[in-house]
Amino acid sequence: MPENINVHALLEGMTAALRRRLQEDGIDDPLMIGIQTGGVWVAEALHDKLQLQQPLGKLNISFYRDDFTRIGMHPQVQPSSLPFDVNDRHIILVDDVLHTGRTIRAALNEIFDYGRPASVILAALVVRSGRELPICADIVGEELQLSDRQHVKLTGPDPLKLAIQESK
């Protein structure tokens, strides 16, 4: 298991993969949306490296979670802000860790309440084992096989660091 993951190198790899993907699909002006909080940090870095024209969108998926009645509200998280019209646009959705897939399910539902995008591709810094829904990432920084007891956490925004923790 890699103790120290080089986030910087992962971001470079993702940037190159995103460039290839956008070129293949003939997309020249995509919108990028990061999921609060870690996904926004990753999205800020990718947005910068890709030099995208449109401002970065930020999504707080709290109101779309399926475990709301179990974990309650987190008012500290910043509100959603999508400073553009998503209708008929190509969207790059960015998160820090893809685990169960439930966050992405919630994020897609929220995006569709803003409008009907032409397409959505998913970029994740870390894709770990433990999927509970039929969701996969198009652009992957690093793939990790982890047990249920292991957690991967991104801290940031400066510097961005990945750590794997073990719970009892």
Partner 1 sequence: MKQQDIQLDSQGRLRHFLTIEGLKRNILTDILDTAENFSTVGTRNVKKVPLLRGKTIANLFFEPSTRTRTTFELAAKRLSADVLNINISTSSTTKGESLLDMLRNLEAMHCDMFVVRHNASGAAHFFAKHVAPHISVINGGDGSHAHPTQAMLDMFTIRRHKQDFTKLTVAIVGDILHSRVARSQIHALTTLGVPEVRVIGPQTLIPKDAAGLGVHVYHDMKEGIRDADVVIMLRLQRERMQGALLPSANEYYRTYGLSPSKLRLAKPDAIVMHPGPINRGVEIASSVADGPQSVILEQVTNGIAIRMAVMSMVLGRGPEEEAEE
Neighbours of 62 (CB within 10 A): 18
CB of 14 to partner 1, least distance (A): 28
In this complex, which beta carbon is closest to partner 1, that of residue 53 or of residue 76? 76
CB of 114 to partner 1, least distance (A): 5
In this complex, which beta carbon is closest to partner 1, that of residue 77 or of residue 118? 77
Q: Which residues bind partner 1 (CB under 8 A)?
A: 60, 62-64, 68-73, 75-77, 79-81, 109-110, 112-115
CB of 67 to partner 1, least distance (A): 9
Report yes or no: 125 and 154 within 8 Å, Cβ to Cβ. yes
Q: Is 18 helix (H, G, I), strand (E, B) or coil?
A: helix
How far apart CA 117 and CA 130 sit, in angstroms, is 28
In this complex, which beta carbon is closest to partner 1, that of residue 75 or of residue 159? 75
Strands 161-166 and 150-155: antiparallel
- Six-digit token pair at 11? 């971001």
